[in-house]
Structure 1
Amino acid sequence: MTAPSPRALAWRRRGAAFAAGWRQFASQRSGLVGLGLLVVIVLLAILAPVITDQGGLDVTEATGGTMAPPDGEYPLGTDRSGRSVLLLTLWSSRVSLLVGFVATLLSIAIGTVIGILAAHYGRWVSAGLMRVTDFFLVIPSLVLAIALSTVMERGIGTIILAIGLTSWPSAARLVRAQTLTIEARPYIERSKALGGGHLHVITKHVLPAVLPLVFVNTTLAVGSAIVAESTLSFLGLGDPDPMRPSWGTMLRSAWLDSAVLAGAWWYLLPPGIAIAIVVLAFTMCGRALEAVLNPRLREG
């Protein structure tokens, strides 16, 4: 019998590590609950064009009454234009989740690159990159996002750039600290002594060791990105297209239409509850992943 190749052994070890990690994650009840909620919400967002008609978002085709209460035809009532609040909530999930995921990936990518470069090269490179990071940390990210959204054309792309380009400093500092710890290990010195260049050390040794922390931070950051998108949209800086609503634009519309004064709780609560549930689900998953990847937390 021929011995398995090194690549096959590596994949076997990765599979065993993934199975062990999944068992640890499954032992965290809160993580399973959060994962289940996310799966349901993401599936509803993906299947919204299949299970509903986007034409109902058009105010010219609305058939309901003005802020009518929930009934058999409209389970969550209608807005001022007569559109179904349930339909708006489902379609808004597509925009809010898209912005949350893409903006988080952008911010984590920027933070990871800056953190690794600052820790690996040190000296003036680290000093320069950390001063830039400190500048973004001093100024509130929401203020910078509002400024960018104001000077750029309104739209989903602008919201993603505004959030992604202003929320990376915390990730950069976390990655830098983790990279400094990894760079001090003996196998890094051995790799350099054997002729490994900067690119080899970063891609083959540092990045794989940093990725678990990056993955956990990504899970926790998506909720913050969704809240940031909702805040910007509530302030009137979101996508102006009524056919691409988000939970933030729904809250803004309910506020402008004086839903509270009119007693139309069904107009205001669904987007707010949806934001709270999604953020809670991502937080629960992130905390469970932290316990899986950090033995000290798992022992506690």
Structure 2
Amino acid sequence: MTSIVWQRRRAAVGSTWREFTRNRGGLAGLVVLGVVVVLALLAPLVTDASGLDVTKAAGQRWQSPSAEFWFGTDHTGRSVLLLTWWGSRISLLIGLTATVLSVAIGTLVGVTAAHFGGWLSAGLMWVTNFFLVLPSLVLAIALSTVLPRGIGTIVLAIGVTSWASTARLVRAQTLSVEARPFIERAKVLGGGHVHVIGRHVLPAVLPLVFVNTTLTVANAIVAEATLSFLGLGDPSMVSWGSMLRAANLHGAVSQRAWWFLLPPGLGVVVIVLAFTLVGRALETVLNPRLRGDR
């Protein structure tokens, strides 16, 4: 019985992948993400992190792109290419970690509210609506201001303020799943809450959660860049947001150092677009109505 279940799951995964590859936008986004992730992982192996230290800058201040420094140098003489390369690691790390926290909270709240109902559902939805009404970025700025600066603070600030939309989405999907006959059969046969949620509800909800995760990562990366640009990030770490802040503070525009502004800005745009393309493609694949199936 178990082997049959796994065979069906493998067949479903294969079918999903074949459908996904037909979406050129999603496939292009996946390729871009793969390249960026591989480069970020290879940074410690193929580059020297000492170049990030302002006391060991190898170039002149505001040096334009050249054969020696492909992306030019910043106000301290550091390579902008090196800063952008290492900055991708922090931006991706914070974006992915904050998204996992946000989606985990939203999924837990949404499934609990839909499954148990009653006063518990009312209370959880009241809290969810509260977080939906208040701008998540404002709440993240408030948390980042009162807590010690660091990567953990940014992850916490983004994660605990951006879960509400996921909670409502998961709650709606859970209510739809629990209205189906097989859930009633499971309960009649003696299935408890853990069995119903773990064996029936979550497998049906997780595809939607996965799609929402890819879309949430893009928002988390933008939020991290915004917080770092406002000076609420980790001052000891280089990220795309902190590079944009440094360019603004040290007059990159007045120095006409466009090479210090474009790489981190384009990095944020490209990675957000890639995650959005992948998320939309997955949404189309996993939702038959969106791909025109009848």
TM range (shorter): over 0.9
- Separation in structure 2 between the aligned mates of residue 199 and residue 10 of structure 1, nearest angstrom: 20
Question: 1:48 aligned to 2:43?
Answer: yes
Which of 260, 263, 275 is the aligned partner of 1:270? 263
- Distance between the aligned counterparts of 2:76 and 2:188, measured in 1? 70
Residue 262 of structure 1 and its aligned partner are, at CA, apart by 1.0
Structure 2 gaps, min length 5 = none
The reply to whether residue 284 of structure 1 matches residue 277 of structure 2 is yes
Q: Does 1:231 align with 2:226?
A: yes
**Cα distance in 2, alignment partners of residues 73 and 88 from structure 1:** 15
Residue type of the alignment partner of 2:275: F
Q: Helix, strand or coil: the match of 2:16?
A: helix
* Corresponding position: 1:248 with 2:255: no
Partner in structure 2 of residue 293 of structure 1 = 286
CA shift for structure 1 position 63 = 1.6
The equivalent of 1:152 in structure 2 is 147
Report the equivalent of 1:59: 54
* Counterpart pick for 1:260 among 228, 253, 256: 253
TM-score normalized by structure 2? 0.99
Matches within 5 A, 1:162-177: 162-177=157-172
| TM-superposed deviation, 1:8 | 1.1
Runs of 4+ in 1 over 6 A off after TM superposition: none
- Give the Cα–Cα distance (whole angstroms) in 1 for the partners of residues 80 and 162 of structure 2: 31
Matched, 1:222 2:207: no
Give the Cα–Cα distance (whole angstroms) in 2 for the partners of residues 19 and 201 of structure 1: 26
Specify the SS of the correspondent of 1:296: coil
**TM-score, normalisation: structure 1:** 0.97
From 122, 125, 131, give the equivalent of 2:126.
131
> How large is the Cα RMSD of the aligned pairs?
0.7
Which secondary structure does the structure 2 equivalent of 1:210 belong to?
helix
Partners of 2:47 and 2:292 lie apart in 1 by 46
Partner of 1:3: none
Letter in 2 for 1:254: A
Matched with 2:22 is 27
The 5 Å alignment of 1:184-195 reads 184-195=179-190
**1:44-99 Cα distance to aligned partner (Å, 9 max, x none):** 00000111100000000002111110000000000000000000000000000000
Deviation at 1:138, TM superposition (A): 1.0
Whether 1:68 and 2:58 are equivalent positions in the alignment is no
Please list the CA deviations of residues 189-243 of structure 1 after superposition, one character each: whole Å capped at 9, or x if unmatched: 11111111111111111011000000000000001000000000000000011xx
Q: Which amino acid aligns with 1:246?
A: S
SS of residue matched to 1:100: helix
Q: Distance in 2 between matches of 1:171 and 1:88?
A: 33
Cα distance per residue 1:87-120 (max 9 Å; x no partner): 0000000000000000000000000000000000
Distance 1:204 1:17 in 2: 17
Count of aligned residue pairs for this structure pair: 293
Instruction: Give the Cα–Cα distance (whole angstroms) in 1 for the partners of residues 200 and 3 of structure 2.
Output: 19
CA distance in 1, matches of 2:17, 2:169: 24
Amino acid at match of 1:153: P
Amino acid at match of 1:211: L
User: What residue in structure 2 maps to residue 110 of structure 1?
Assistant: 105
What is the identity, as a one-letter code, of the residue corresponding to 2:233? G
Residue in structure 1 matched with residue 205 of structure 2 by the alignment = 210
Distance 1:205 1:8 in 2: 18
